[in-house]
Amino acid sequence: MPMTSTTSLLEENPLLQRWATPFGLAPFDRIQPDHFEPAFAKAMADQRLELDTIAGQTTQPSFENTVAAFDASGRLLARLEGVFHNLCASQTTPELQAVQRRLAQPLAAHNNAVYMHASLFARVDHLFKRRNALGLDEESLRLLERVHLDFVRAGARLRGPEQARYAQVMEALADLHTRFGQNVLADESAYTLALKSPSDLAGLPAFVRDAAADAARMRGMSGHVITLSRSLIVPFLTFSERPDLREQAWRAWTSRGEQEGPTDNRSIVREILTLRAEQAALHGHRCYADFALEDTMAQSQSAVMGLLDQVWERALPALEGERGQLQSLMATVGQSGPIHAWDWRYWAEKVRHSSYAIDDAQVKPYFALDRMVLAAFDCARRLFGVHFLHRPDVVLYHPDVKAYEVTRSDGSAVGLFLHDNFARPTKRSGAWMSAYRLQSGLSYGDLALGQARTLPIIVNNNNFAKAPEGQPTLLSFDDVRTLFHEFGHGLHGLLSDVRYERLSGTQVLRDFVELPSQLFEHWMSQPQVLQEHARHVVTGQPIPQATIDKLQAARNFGQGFETVRYTASALTDMAVHGLGLGQVPQDVVAYEAEVLQRYGLPAGVGLNHRYTHFQHLFSGSSYAAGYYVYLWAEVLDCDAFDAFKEAGDIFDPTTAQRLLQCIYAAGNRVEPGQTYRDFRGRDARVEPMLKDRGLIPEDG
């Protein structure tokens, strides 16, 4: 391309211009996929120049001229990554996916260049060795320690051929992670189960039929279709009277990434596992699990397995008790034989209705999405003094997304919150929180928009089935839990109050990051929250106390099923990442089945995620050898919520202020075990979690 064309392209590229938009949000209406590659090329070159300048200083290393300067580098790159990765997950296109594939290797190579910068690491290492003599405050010392560890874990201490090979491994993994995630999305987007006759719709409540009709319309089809969106397929498996159709849908859902052809993830999983084993070996570890767990609260496989084994042993009898209830009900209607995995939810719903008088179709009208969003906002206000103001004037990347300006009670700015709640073919499955911009106590030029600090822009993604035009979207009780869970993550990002971006918000140890999210779930099921916010979508009447009592009574029914499914996935994760070099199986699907047989996974239950679509593990490395973290954090969150029970008020101001300061605002400026002790006054105890799941008696 001629130089004039390149220069013109860069000058016209909205990604490289100052964003004169509300809150400095990206100008989504002007961004095209072909803007990203030249913008990233410039951003990476800019940061390399910054790092060369830091490393080339003739003055002695100091915290400010090396570590703080490093934390402040790469502002343009951080801005681009926030936009790019969020769009790839939430509103992708074939063109954007092609860019994502092309950028995977260059971005990984840039990360290698940053953390394998020998002169820069030498300065960081010099400071790290003298850290106790530098007179640093607690947060600065924490930043130095974390930055040094980032360099070490990225291969900075490796030399010669080993470091070169490490760089190759990381670049190859980046490409494989991208391909894995895109394959899962392709399988989810391509599948539809058409419901063509009235008998195909048998048993489906109105909200499922409406969602299936909307899914058909979104795909240019008539009638009703079931897709592999969790918000649609789980209700279908729960209510459909057609076991043959339930089986079809279940098999498609559980075999994502396991079909011959371009979206087959089996060989990709094997390649990822092989490269991770090599990555761990280059660091001197026997297996990837040992490498990954080194930087966690758990620290070792034995600690993780101690928790998983304890829960597994208690969950199996609970599951069999539930199976007995299902089979008893089946017998009363003349049904016999085994309960298949595609039948379990259906019969569990029948038991829930007959034993607890809970009917999801009758309960959902009390849980309109808009009211539940307001409930989450109100809980945040009462706990932390923050307010959410809808900003319909903010231009976003999809009409379904809503923006909220977040302020404190005194009017001071907190940040911007984006809520992206609905499933669509261009969005990956699941629910997650991410950031367009992280909080820090420093100003980074035009990104701070005149503020003395950088305000966060946080997004929550859910995949709820959208109601037909003009009708309210209704949530299940589990959907409400998901909404509160992700909002807890969102608060963790929004309420962060740290000086340095590396320590901001959710950038904590992986088995601590789920604490703020899972803890916030507790408020959604509290009677006083339900009585105030759960109101019938037609009559406006609050949910009856009798219904709340039934929901509470039924709360632990199904926990055996859910606990076994979750723990089984965590066990398969730990097993496969516990394999060393040369041990990765040729057939990962057969190995997964072998692990489940070894642990005695009961028939007809299944597991939350199978290797071929286990995005936690294989669309990135964040949760690899780390799916256990939800259970680890549950020990913390149940124990933490007990602090409010002990105070006698779920909105106790003193406890809430301590929670804000020690957990939600602290980011990673304090070691997580210590920050939990600062809040609770002691280490967490496991008993509240076991009681909450109904795995031991309340008085046990």
| pLDDT for residue 1 | 35
- Of 652, 641, 651, 644, which is closest to residue 691 (Cα–Cα)? 641
User: pLDDT tier at 7 (50, 70, 90 boundaries)?
Assistant: low
As a whole-number percent, the residues of the chain with pLDDT over 90 amount to 90
Q: Which segment of 126-135, 460-469, 643-652 scores lowest on mean pLDDT?
A: 460-469
pLDDT score of 2: 40
696: its two tokens: 């031991």
Give pLDDT, residue 222.
Answer: 93
Beta strands in 304-456 (DSSP E): 386-390, 402-408, 413-422, 432-437
Candidates 111, 109, 116, 121; CA nearest to 54 is: 121
Q: Has 64 been annotated as catalytic?
A: no
**What SS3 class is residue 225?**
strand
Amino acid making up residue 609: H
Q: What type of residue is 628?
A: Y
- The secondary structure of residue 368, as a DSSP letter, is B
pLDDT at position 453, please? Answer: 84
Same fold, 3-157 and 365-514: yes
- Cβ atoms of residues 396 and 419 within 8 Å: no
- Confidence bin at 554 (pLDDT 50/70/90): confident
Q: What torsion, rounded to 10 degrees, do the Cα atoms 78, 83, 84, 89 define? A: 120
| Confidence label for 517 from pLDDT (cuts 50, 70 and 90) | very high
* Rounded mean pLDDT, 591-604: 97
pLDDT for 452: 60
What's the DSSP call for residue 454?
B
Strand segments, DSSP code E, in 297-438 are 386-390, 402-408, 413-422, 432-437
Q: For residues 226 and 191, what is the distance between their CA atoms, to the nearest angstrom?
A: 8
Q: What is the pLDDT of residue 8?
A: 57
Are 493 and 461 in contact by the 8 Å Cβ rule? The answer is: no
Which 8-state DSSP code applies to residue 664?
A: I
User: What band does 521 get if pLDDT is binned at 50, 70 and 90?
Assistant: very high
Kindly report the average pLDDT of the chain as a whole number: 94
**pLDDT average, residue stretch 390-411:** 97
Q: What is the pLDDT of residue 72?
A: 95
Residue with tokens 């100003």: 443
Q: What is the pLDDT of residue 10?
A: 65
**Phi, psi at residue 368, to the nearest 5°?**
-70, 140
How do the domains of the chain map onto residue ranges? 3-157, 191-254, 365-514
> Which tokens go with 236?
């279908």
In order of 84, 108, 156, 275, the CA distances from 160 in angstroms are 33, 19, 11, 19
Condensed to tens digits (0 to 9), the pLDDT of residues 300-341 reads 999 999 999 999 999 999 999 999 999 999 999 999 889 999
> Of these residues, 349, 486, 521, 634, which one is catalytic?
486
Q: What is the pLDDT of residue 445?
A: 52
**Unique residue bearing structure tokens 């991410």:** 434
Residue-wise pLDDT for 557-568, tens only, equals 999 999 999 999
Given the DSSP bridges, would you call strands 413-422 and 457-464 parallel, antiparallel or unpaired? parallel
Q: What share of the chain is helix, strand, coil (3-state, %, to 5)?
A: 60, 5, 35
Q: What are residue 459's DSSP bridge partners?
A: 418, 434
Compute the average pLDDT of residues 184-211.
94
Task: Give the pLDDT confidence score for residue 442 in this predicted structure.
Answer: 86
State residue 447's pLDDT score.
44
Residue 265's nearest CA partner among 614, 624, 621 is 614
Res 337: pLDDT: 86
Q: Is the pLDDT of residue 61 over 90?
A: yes
> Under a CB-based contact definition with an 8 Å cutoff, are residues 193 and 215 in contact?
no
Please determine, for residue 4, whether its predicted confidence score (pLDDT) is greater than 80. no
In degrees, to the nearest 5, what angle opens at C-alpha 564 toward C-alphas 558 and 566?
Answer: 100
- Amino acid at residue number 265: N
For the record, the structure tokens of 661 come out as 């300061």
- What is the band of 699 on the pLDDT scale with cuts at 50, 70, 90? low
Flag whether pLDDT at 9 surpasses 70: no
Decide if 36 contacts 99 (C-beta within 8 A). Answer: yes
Q: Which secondary structure element, helix H or strand E, spans residue 520, and what is its range?
A: helix 514-524
Each residue's pLDDT tens digit, 63-113:
999 999 999 999 999 999 999 999 999 999 999 999 999 999 999 999 999
For the 3-157 domain, the top CATH level (class) is mainly alpha
DSSP, collapsed to helix, strand or coil, labels residue 175 as helix
The continuous run of DSSP H or E covering 674 comes out as: helix 672-680
Q: What percentage of the chain exceeds 70 in pLDDT?
A: 97
Where b means 16+ CB within 10 Å and e means fewer, 568-587 reads: bbbbbbbbbbbbbeeebeee
d(CA 227, CA 185): 12
- The CATH code of domain 365-514 reads 1.10.1370.40
pLDDT value of residue 336 = 87
